[in-house]
Chain A
Amino acid sequence: MQPPVDPGLFPYTRGIHASGYEGKLWTMRQFAGFGAPEQTNARYKALLAAGGTGLSVAFDLPTLMGRDPDHPLSLGEVGKCGVNVTSLADMETLFDGIRVGEITTSMTINSPAAMIFAMYLVVGEKQGADWHRLSGTIQNDILKEFIAQKEYIFPPRPSMKLVTDVFAFCAEHVPKWNTISVSGYHIREAGATALQELAFTLRDGIEYVQYGVDAGLRVDDFAPRISFFFNAHSDFFEEIAKYRAARALWAYAMRDRFGARDERSWKLRCHAQTAGVSLTAQQPYNNVVRTALQALSAVLGGTNSLHTNSLDEALALPTEEAATLALRTQQIIAYESGVPDVVDPFGGSYYLEELTNTLVDGSHRYFDQIDKLGGMVAAIEAGFPQREIAESAYKFQQAVERRERVIVGVNDRASEGGEPPPSILYIDESAGERQLQKLDHLRRTRNVSSVERALDGIREAAHSGRNTMPPILDAVRAYATVGEMCDALRQVWGEYEEAAVI
């Protein structure tokens, strides 16, 4: 076995920084959003007042799916899984009293990423912030939507056009923005193994770079703004190996496959979130321990940013108390455990190096398979990653049923009657009603002809192949809604429907 090179050196298996967390601790970024924008704005102000420097926006399903609150499919969904943002007016409310030029914001938004990002940019514009200094992240990872989370709107190929339009626009106008967060998180939650999470995510990353290059961009102009997002799961050592393998795979792919010369293009930066799917509704306090172990593995793996889940998330969105305990969990690792004082302490361990190599080799086998299918978009169209994941999910469940896999408190040490459940956050229907009223008011007060003109501009760009970001920005400024902007593109590109296969 080759002794690994030092942290900070190519291929960065042991970390992208020579000094690990000594120079900069990971960012503690807790995902939050619920109800109407007013409610989430209050939560954000509390988070910032408590010393937070970054926000992470969770949107509701209508926003994620590009549907306005008055669409039939939005029935009962407004404000439930996150905050509802229908138009620029809502984004202005969400960031009311918050200077977007002075914080970093991460937004978990994919199919309508360009529209939501444009709203954030216009809020910045109105606050007088310089786009060249705005910093934050949009998830903008459509491939994993087709593979796992299924919040797609348009077919894969035009969807990739929207993604590369954001790459090109940001390279010129918003150079500090992380234009994509290539996500394994949802792939893992859908049932993938660690290897599948790693391989499909990295291969997604390669696909995005290929599409960017094919769209005429220079690799080093956009690749440094690509970031990743992994799932901090339960198999402690395999998880640590996963981050190490990811950094090495990316460094080689960027240097050798794409000929990137800028070191920043080679360095994989990532966020991690503990595994929601590992949380149990039974004996929910056990979840605190699971989350602590998962968070520790992510830190030992060298994550750059971390979200720790709350103990009540198998039951509902977290209460404020539960979310605070989750944040405390990572603060204890950061400030009490001493773990951040050393870089990649498992480097050179026969077991960890072997696990890392196994994951790298397994990923290369998946890369070869996907390359043979014609790339990740073609593999998705053929249903390949979807089938692999469904197979793993079923095998996992069978192993749980046979008790080959132990879940403490569920199929092992399950107490009769369980323990009293914690109090949960209950989201009522008031946000939905409020958002409907606001939408009605907006439709009656805005300038209809400028909305129509702007939507025509979006359709025209979609037809001609020009960058869609400028007309989307115009539509946002005219207070067009997310649903209207997505409908304009649906008319040109159509909608994706996956074959229902079990």
Chain B
Amino acid sequence: MSKIRVVIAKPGLDGHDRGAKVIARALRDAGMEVIYTGLRQTPEQIVTAALQEDADVIGLSILSGAHNHIVPRLMELLRSKGLDDVMVVIGGIIPDVDIPRLKTLGVKGVFLPGTPMQDIIDFIRGNARARV
């Protein structure tokens, strides 16, 4: 079986990348293929990276409160490129009231501060599209 491919991206202007880097390393240590985009990626750049890297999963790290703008745009772009089966998960600071809306847009998992890395690894293994 081939490895699950994950693009870890940090959209928006925020530079706090501790979480993104720690989770990228944890997923890699768990046997996944991880591509970290670096900072300040637009939704367009993230979707392009997912396409080029044949990603199964996009993990967004957002702490700044910009998720309500970034996520709808990203989901729309994924649909228009035919990448509907790429699973999107978010980690960061997301107010509870925003979570149902993000899920409606198609985000599969929202991981808040304090989530064990193992929970995220298990979630991705259990939900990413099957690779043949």
Contacts and interface: CB of A to CB of B under 8 A. Distances in A.
A and B: real partners?
Answer: yes
B117 to A, nearest CB: 6
A393 B17 CA distance: 11
A410 interface: yes
A500 interface: yes
A394 interface: yes
A80 B18 contact: no
B114 interface: yes
**Could you say which of B17, B24, B93 has the most chain A C-beta atoms within 10 Å of its C-beta?**
B17
A73 B17 contact: no
Nearest to A63: B13
B58 to A, nearest CB: 15
B113 interface: yes
Contact of B113 (A314, A427, A498): A314
Interface string A15-26: 000000000000
Given A191-B18, A397-B26, A424 B116 contact: no
B65 A80 contact: yes
Contact of B25 (A281, A394, A499): A394
Contacts of A424: 95
A390 B21 contact: yes
A347 B38 CA distance: 45
Given A315-B93, A426-B95, A77 B16 contact: no
Nearest to B71: A76
Contact of A397 (B8, B22, B28, B68): B22
B113 A281 contact: yes
Interface in B79-121: 93, 95-97, 112-114, 116-118
Nearest to B73: A75
Contacts of B16: 149-150, 189-190
Interface residues of B, number: 38
Interface string A55-81: 000000110110100001111110011
Contacts of A189: 16, 18
A150 B17 contact: yes
B66 A75 contact: yes
Nearest to A425: B95
Contacts, number: 106
Contacts of A67: 13
Interface in A387-404: 390, 393-394, 397, 401
Contacts of A277: 18
B118 to A, nearest CB: 6
B28 A76 contact: no
Contacts of A73: 12-13, 40, 42
A393 to B, nearest CB: 5
Contact of B70 (A62, A76, A410): A76
Nearest to A73: B13
Given A394-B22, A502-B34, A77 B93 contact: no
A325 interface: no
B17 A77 contact: no
Interface string B1-43: 0000000100011111110011011101000001011111010
B38 A498 contact: yes
A97 interface: no
A393 B13 contact: no
Contact of A76 (B12, B17, B24, B96): B12
B69 interface: yes
A98 to B, nearest CB: 27
B119 to A, nearest CB: 10
Nearest to A282: B114
Given A77-B13, A151-B15, A401-B118, A393 B21 contact: yes
A81 B113 contact: no
Interface string A306-344: 000000001110000000000000000000000000000
A296 B13 CA distance: 34
Interface in A14-66: 61-62, 64-65
Contact of B12 (A61, A64, A191, A280): A61
A125 B65 CA distance: 35
Nearest to B113: A281
B48 interface: no
A502 B69 contact: no
B36 A80 contact: no
A421 interface: yes
Contacts of B13: 61-62, 64-65, 67, 73-74, 77
B64 interface: yes
A77 B66 CA distance: 5
A411 interface: yes
- Pick the 5 closest A-B CB pairs, nearest first: A150-B15, A76-B69, A500-B38, A76-B66, A61-B13
23 contacts: A61-B12, A61-B13, A72-B42, A73-B40, A75-B70, A76-B12, A76-B70, A80-B66, A81-B64, A149-B15, A150-B15, A315-B95, A316-B65, A393-B21, A394-B26, A397-B117, A426-B95, A427-B65, A497-B38, A498-B38, A499-B38, A500-B38, A500-B39
Given A80-B64, A393-B22, 11 more contacts: A75-B66, A77-B64, A77-B65, A77-B66, A81-B64, A150-B15, A315-B95, A316-B95, A397-B117, A497-B38, A500-B36
